[in-house]
Amino acid sequence: MTATITDKKVLMKGNYAIANAAVLAGCQCYFGYPITPQSEIGEFMSGKMQELGRAYVSAESELAAINMTIGACSTGVKAMTSSSSCAVSLMQEGLSYATSDQLPVVLVSVMRGGPGLGNIYPSQGDYFQATRGGGNGDYKLIVLAPSTVQECADLTYKAFYLAQKYRNPTVLLADGLLGQMMEPVEFKPYPYPEIDNSQWKLSGAKGREARIIRSYAPLADNQCVYLEKLFEKYKLIEEQETQWEEIGTEDADIVLVSFGSTARNVKTATKICRQKGLKVGILRPITLFPFPTKRLKELAQSVKMFVSVEVNMGQMVQDVRLAVNGKAPVELIHKGVGVPPAPEEIVKQIEELM
């Protein structure tokens, strides 16, 4: 798998689509340590980056990989790392630092079963890890959740763009199903403008004042000011970048909320429900932070029940409940780990909830 194609559909694994899109997005440095189910990303990068004269480093650990990415990003180049669940855990400190340093780190997280080493099957068990973070302090990561292989490519572009635009670490949150499945995908050229980073990057201080990027504020007041600013940025991101897909919600009694690969089966389930005459719609968050809280709040004025459908023990359901804020019941349909419940199974469970 070596092609960097931009003009026709190719059948490709989600992992390769992510890697190929990262190359097309202008990623100059890749640092990573292999782990199933995302190893194809590193494999692709190991060949392609060398071929293009860019940097590929097989890091000695995930801790090293995230810190190498931080280092590269501080010089103003686009850089990324990728990993999976238990190994993304090892990167949490780095992500907290990168947020504090305001560096455009891109992390591809291809979720597998947990907790601990878990297993290599698909999972959405790292919704909390991505949206709440395991690092210390008040921070947010921008989190994008693709649902198809085409979106794996498109949202990889977007991850690089948003990371640069807001100088904030951005996570592409895929899963083992998306990483390992193949689907036709088309690669258009990187569609976003390049962001000027000349005012902050560490590019050598010759002819200008020296800069320092660090994650330490010696004075309490300064840190208060800093945090306020950081959260003004997050507010702006919420206002401008919240993205979701909605089908059949206009007259819906029940709205299913689902993200990522699971949303594929949920869409089919809503179709089956409609055929049965049930007024069911779907809202699929594409950005998990920022979460489409406002839209859910609006829908809660008329919708009789929300159901979060996830492959974990129930994580996003908490954000749905916060958004709906008691205006309607919020139920959960879930499976602990593995491929998502079949559409018919989801329909059956919806009927039981009614």
Partner 1 sequence: MEKDFIIAGFGGQGVLLAGEVLANGFMIDNKNVTWYPSYGAEMRGGTVNCTVVMSDEDVSAVQKSSADFIIVLNQASFDKYVSWVKKGGSIIVNSSLAIIKKTREDINYIFVPITKLAQEKLGNIKMSNILALGTLSRVSKLISLSTLEKALHNVIPPHRANLIPKNIEALKLGYEYDLLKV
Contact positions toward partner 1, by CB under 8 A? 9-11, 177, 180-184, 261, 264-265, 267-268, 339-340, 342-343
Residue whose C-alpha is closest to residue 18's, from 345, 7, 95, 1: 1
**Nearer of residues 158 and 264 to partner 1, judged by Cβ:** 264
Q: How far is CA 202 from CA 57, 73, 109, 167, 206, in A?
A: 21, 9, 27, 14, 11
User: In this structure, what token pair is assigned to residue 304?
Assistant: 């009789």
In angstroms, rounded to a whole number, what is the distance separating the alpha carbons of residues 302 and 282?
14
Q: Which residues contact 115 (CB under 8 A, 6 or more apart)?
A: 125
For 219, phi then psi, to 5°, come to -110, 135
What's the closest the beta carbon of residue 272 comes to partner 1, in angstroms?
Answer: 9
What's the closest the beta carbon of residue 148 comes to partner 1, in angstroms?
Answer: 9
**271 CB-contact burial (10 Å; exposed 0-12 / middle 13-18 / buried 19+):** middle
Q: Is residue 307 a contact partner of residue 353, using CB atoms and an 8 Å limit?
A: yes
**Nearer of residues 68 and 263 to partner 1, judged by Cβ:** 263
3-state secondary structure of 312: coil
What's the closest the beta carbon of residue 317 comes to partner 1, in angstroms?
Answer: 22
**Nearer of residues 170 and 180 to partner 1, judged by Cβ:** 180
**Nearer of residues 117 and 182 to partner 1, judged by Cβ:** 182
User: In this structure, what token pair is assigned to residue 77?
Assistant: 């180049």
**Nearer of residues 172 and 178 to partner 1, judged by Cβ:** 178
**Nearer of residues 14 and 104 to partner 1, judged by Cβ:** 14
What's the closest the beta carbon of residue 339 comes to partner 1, in angstroms?
Answer: 4
Q: How far is CA 268 from CA 101, 201, 261, in A?
A: 43, 46, 12
Residue whose C-alpha is closest to residue 176's, from 89, 289, 256, 83: 83
What's the closest the beta carbon of residue 343 comes to partner 1, in angstroms?
Answer: 6
In angstroms, rounded to a whole number, what is the distance separating the alpha carbons of residues 61 and 89?
12
What's the closest the beta carbon of residue 152 comes to partner 1, in angstroms?
Answer: 13
What's the closest the beta carbon of residue 281 comes to partner 1, in angstroms?
Answer: 16
What's the closest the beta carbon of residue 186 comes to partner 1, in angstroms?
Answer: 11
**Nearer of residues 327 and 348 to partner 1, judged by Cβ:** 348
Q: Is residue 65 a contact partner of residue 91, using CB atoms and an 8 Å limit?
A: yes
**Nearer of residues 114 and 176 to partner 1, judged by Cβ:** 176
